[in-house]
């Protein structure tokens, strides 16, 4: 199969938003909502698994909005402790804490007249959520260690890879903040829910990595394409991007062949899988192997390894248990030690199907 890098602007499958690739119905809904909400100042909540492109949508909303000429500031809320994140968001004054040797503006001030993107908003603590709620409601705050009020004109776009309503129910996320953020929700579909977009994504990433590596890999054999389309993609588009880069670098010629793909995509058992109980290993060694493999294959910017590894294990456990129970959810839930409603929700999260109740 020949994959042509790039597509003409008038191609009906070309997305109307720069950086977003795909023509599936789910993605067309994302494009339409993105364009509509961009014209407003409403808060937006982006929901979806890790690697589905939430930051790309946030940038698109900013660039298509009247604020497009202003700053776009990204903050990963899950990468910092509460105290560091508070200072990062709101700034601090000299002497506010050990090491605060000078006044420092925060990210909200840096995003004045523009947009701030709060990634992994679900990671924030209740204390910090109170301050975020005030910014959303009043557009004002105080720097850490200061009493002077700072006013800002900043649009807030937040993202979560967890169901925030679940976090509200567990009382780890404030209900009033959730509704303030969730003015316009946009759900990013996992890659396994839009497999028809995989050839388009392949073409897009091939063009990028051919240019970066001075290569000309434009063919893919049918076996490799079939394997890529059938794979369940727990890491979503980000995982596909890493696979394409690897193939471009390692391909001996101008074609991606199935032997260039990771073993899991070829349907082969990995070393970790080979060490399952009854095959010469135990669960502890298997867990170590899975974590080592996850850390080895993670990209340099992948800061959500916990969710990636745990999500894969959870999905595989549920899938195998369903198969062992003939697809009967009630029986599988009992074997797993969870209630049926929880199982149903996890089936939806992981894109799994069951034959019976």
pLDDT category, 1, cuts 50, 70, 90? low
Q: What is the pLDDT of residues 270-310, one digit of tens each?
A: 444 444 444 444 566 677 667 766 766 665 556 667 777 88
What residue ranges define each of the domains in the chain, with the CATH number in brackets?
1-6+193-266 (1.10.8.60), 25-188 (3.40.50.300)
Which stretch, 7-16, 66-75, 160-169, has highest mean pLDDT? 66-75
Average pLDDT, the chain: 85
Which of 122, 116, 112, 135 has its CA nearest to residue 61? 116
The span from the CA of 238 to the CA of 161, in Å, is 14
Q: What is the pTM of this model?
A: 0.71
Give the CA count within 13 Å in the CB-facing half-sphere of 50: 21
Rg of the Cα atoms in the chain: 23
With beta carbons less than 8 A apart as the criterion, state whether 194 and 200 touch: no
Determine the pLDDT at residue 19. Answer: 79
The helix (H) or strand (E) run that includes residue 47 is strand 44-47
Predicted confidence (pLDDT) per residue in 262-276, tens digit: 988 887 654 444 444
Q: How far apart are CA 31 and CA 17, in angstroms?
A: 7
Give tens-digit pLDDT for 216-269.
999 999 999 999 999 999 889 999 999 999 999 999 999 999 999 998 888 765
Residue-wise pLDDT for 116-150, tens only, equals: 999 999 999 999 999 999 999 999 999 888 888 99
């Amino acid at each position: 199969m020949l994959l042509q890098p790039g597509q003409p602007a008038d191609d009906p499958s070309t997305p109307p938003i720069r950086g977003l690739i795909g023509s599936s119905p789910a993605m067309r809904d994302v494009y339409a909502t993105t364009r509509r909400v961009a014209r407003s100042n409403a808060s937006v909540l982006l929901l979806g698994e890790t690697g589905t492109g939430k930051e790309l949508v946030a940038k698109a909303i900013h660039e298509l909005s009247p604020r497009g000429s202003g700053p776009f500031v990204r903050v990963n809320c899950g990468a910092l402790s509460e105290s560091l994140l508070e200072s990062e968001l709101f700034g601090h004054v000299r002497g506010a804490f050990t090491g605060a040797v000078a006044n420092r503006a925060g990210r909200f001030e840096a995003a004045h007249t523009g947009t701030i993107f709060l990634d992994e908003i679900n990671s924030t603590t209740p204390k910090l959520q109170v301050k975020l709620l005030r910014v959303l409601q009043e557009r004002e705050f105080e720097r850490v260690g200061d009493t002077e009020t700072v006013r800002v004109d900043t649009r807030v776009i937040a993202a979560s890879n967890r169901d925030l309503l679940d976090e509200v129910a567990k009382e780890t996320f404030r209900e009033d903040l959730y509704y303030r953020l969730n003015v316009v929700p946009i759900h990013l579909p996992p890659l396994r829910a839009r497999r028809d977009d995989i050839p388009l994504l392949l073409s897009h990433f091939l063009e990028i990595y051919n240019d970066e590596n001075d290569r000309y890999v434009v063919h893919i054999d049918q076996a490799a394409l079939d394997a890529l389309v059938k794979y369940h993609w727990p890491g979503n588009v980000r995982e596909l991007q890493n696979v394409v880069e690897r193939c471009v670098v390692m391909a001996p010629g101008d074609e991606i062949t199935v032997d260039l793909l990771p073993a899991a995509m070829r349907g082969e058992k990995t070393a970790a899988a080979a060490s399952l109980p009854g095959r010469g290993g135990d669960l502890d060694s298997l867990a170590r192997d899975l974590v080592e493999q996850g850390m080895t294959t993670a990209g340099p910017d992948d800061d959500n390894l916990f969710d990636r590894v745990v999500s894969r294990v959870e999905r595989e456990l549920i899938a195998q248990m369903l198969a062992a129970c003939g697809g009967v959810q009630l029986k599988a839930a009992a074997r797993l030690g969870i209630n049926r409603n929880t199982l149903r929700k996890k089936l939806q999260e992981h894109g799994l199907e069951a034959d019976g109740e």
